[in-house]
Amino acid sequence: MGWISLRNWIIRALIGVVAGFAALLGSVLLWEQNQLVARQNALIEAQNAYFQRQVGQDSDQWSELRLSQLRTTLVEVDCREGGRCKPVAGPVARGQALAALATLERQAGRLPWSCTALT
């Protein structure tokens, strides 16, 4: 019965060693995965910052486009009639464009101090 006990002890010891290596390997893999997730989160944060800058630039571009359209409405004239220039847009359209232009310029912080009484 001594050999059977020794054989069972060796088998149990080997199972323990294999289980220990499996636990160690699992811990190493989990640590590596955590490192990869942390790196991925950093990359996602950088990408989000890039998207925020891009959205801000798109917003600025749309504002500039709208300002350009309003300025064009204000100053657009038709000079084809024998040298006599007249505004293309009527006074109501020009007034609305001027009010919208002043609002956008104020929001952009570019409205001169002397024009604040207009709005």
* 39-75 residue pLDDT tens: 999 999 999 998 888 877 777 777 777 777 766 666 5
Q: Give the DSSP H/E element, type plus range, for residue 78.
A: strand 77-81
> Over the stretch 2-12, which tens digit does the pLDDT of each residue have?
888 999 999 99
User: How many separate domains does the chain show?
Assistant: 1
User: Do residues 68 and 97 touch, judged by C-beta distance below 8 A?
Assistant: no
Q: Is the pLDDT of residue 29 over 60?
A: yes
B/e letters for 77-116, b = 16+ CB within 10 Å, e = fewer, are: eeeeeeeeeeeebeeeebeebbebbbebbeeeeebeeeee
Give the range of the structural domain holding residue 28, as residue numbers without chain letter. Answer: 2-118
% the chain with pLDDT above 90: 37
Query: pLDDT value at position 37?
Result: 96
